[in-house]
Structure 1
Amino acid sequence: MSNMFKIFDVSGSALSAQSVRLNTIASNMANAQVASTTPEQAYRSKQPVFQTVMDQFGGSASTSPVRVAGIVESAAEPKARYEPHHPLANEDGYVFMPNVNLVDEMANMISASRSYENNVEVMNTTKQLLLRTLQMGQS
């Protein structure tokens, strides 16, 4: 029975991690068209890094919670775009655009949304199983 409750820990931590992932994707997409004067000022795509939290008493990776170990910034260079009339153009006429790929971000968002939904479904199914188990005990 305690393994049933552990499912809530695992799914709950996965929901939290996917929420961070969705927020990071939203930030990337919101900043995808923000121009900068220099490459150093340009927004860089960010991605969360997940880590399994292993149980000190011998839990397996399949029954261990997940946590966000950090958020890493892409090392890819920003895109230089020649727009001499842009208000942020440098002396050479270039503005620097974020290294965000909107197609990749959309695919990542769909994947994160499905993972989130799957974990909600796991929690709902587990709850229903626990309720039915309790009802059997009352009979």
Structure 2
Amino acid sequence: MALDAIGIAGTALTVHRKWLDAVSDNMANVNTVTGTDGDAFQARYVVAREAEGVGGVMVAGAAFGDPEGRLAYQPDHPLADEDGMVRFPDIDMAAQMGALIMAQRGYQANAAVVDRARETYLAALEIGRS
């Protein structure tokens, strides 16, 4: 039982770590500017699904934000077009902060499950030695 809990929580730790990586990458690139002739930085979103046969969860892939991004008027920017427009990613910082908190809490909860399952397993081994 304890080994199953460790394995299942371990899969969730991996998903939450990848989610944290995606959110931090999105937040780091929220102000990345491109010219209007190119695509904006695309936010990355982790797609998770149930792991078949073994229990737990796994990363099924990634979804990406809109490459159109949002246009902003910045005529002094070196990448501005003839109309003074540049392209920013379409990333909502408030939504990313919410996702960051959820991913952190999920990671912490699953790390606690691994710790408690490990302690239970070690206690059972100690009882068996007595």
The normalised TM-score by structure 2 is 0.93
Instruction: Quote the Cα distance in structure 1 between the aligned partners of 2:24 and 2:43.
Output: 11
Match 1:93 to one of 68, 84, 94: 84
Unaligned runs of 5+ in 2: none
Matched with 1:31 is: 29
Q: Deviations over 1:52-97 (max 9, x none)?
A: 1121xxx7xxxx1211111110237411111111111111110111
Q: TM-score, normalised by structure 1?
A: 0.87
Q: Which amino acid aligns with 2:83?
A: D
Count residues in correspondence.
130
Moved more, 69-78 or 91-100: 69-78
Moved over 3 A (4+): none
Cα pair 1:39 1:78 within 8 Å, conserved: no
Partner of 1:9: 7
Distance 1:80 1:100, change over 3 A: same
Change in Cα spacing, 1:39 to 1:73, as seen in structure 2 (3 Å) is farther
Q: Is 1:79–2:70 an aligned residue pair?
A: yes
Cα RMSD for the two superposed structures: 1.5
- Structure 1 segment 46-57 matched on structure 2, within 5 A: 46-55=44-53
**1:80 partner amino acid:** L
Distance 1:70 1:39 in 2: 28
Which structure 1 segments of 5+ residues have no match? none
Cα distance in 1 for partners of 2:96, 2:67 equals 15
Q: 1:109 aligns with which of 100, 115, 126?
A: 100
SS of alignment partner, residue 62 of structure 2: strand
The answer to whether residue 63 in structure 2 is matched with residue 65 in structure 1 is no
Of 119, 125, 133, 2:116 maps to: 125
The Cα shift of 1:33 comes to: 0.1
The share of aligned pairs that are identical, in percent, is 29
